[in-house]
Amino acid sequence: MTNQDNHDTETDILDNLKSSISDEDIIRNCIFCNIANGNIPSDKVYEDSETLAFLDISPVNKGHILVIPKDHHENVYDTPAETWCRVMLTAQKVAVAIKNALDADGINIWMNNESTAGQDVFHAHIHIIPRYNDDGHTSRWSHAKYDSDEEKTVLVDKVKAVIQS
């Protein structure tokens, strides 16, 4: 069995589980919904009518903050555009505050969508991570190479077709 086959099997299992759970159960059991509703305490740094920003309990660096929409949306794919814009405005506000308040040398703004990409809480959230020249972390990715210009053209055409549909 290949890695892709394993992933497909895991995805099928997760999809079946999700279809058997009501929206109310998902929200009731979502840690971020419970934080947004005040049922679980958090160290809030910012809140408005649609978003909440609070300290991550497992920070990459001290001052690592999460920004969430208060309403439950699983990831970037199902977050309404208006809500996504509000989340990003809050992320910008928090990033500027972290940079200035903590004298960070840089900021990572990061989001994982789906388990393959590292999402482990299935409520849309943005990581705002202060970075320092000597923090020992890296955000450098290895880089893939396209086999040909034709391969790039096919990829671009596929993405454009979906955007335009």
Catalytic machinery residues = 125
How many Cβ atoms from other residues are within 10 Å of residue 97's Cβ?
Answer: 16
Question: Which two three-digit tokens encode residue 114?
Answer: 């789906």
- Give the C-alpha separation, 23 to 158, whole Å: 33
Residue 1, both tokens: 């069995």
Side by side, the strands of the sheet bearing 51-55 are 44-47, 51-55, 65-69, 126-131, 106-110
Contact (Cβ atoms closer than 8 angstroms) between residue 67 and residue 93: no
Question: At which residue do the structure tokens 């923090």 appear?
Answer: 135
**Token couple for 134:** 């000597």
**Tokens representing 52?**
């909440």
Instruction: Collapse the DSSP code of 122 into the 3-class scheme (helix H, G, I; strand E, B; otherwise coil) and give the result.
Output: coil
Contacts of 7 (CB under 8 A, 6+ apart): 116
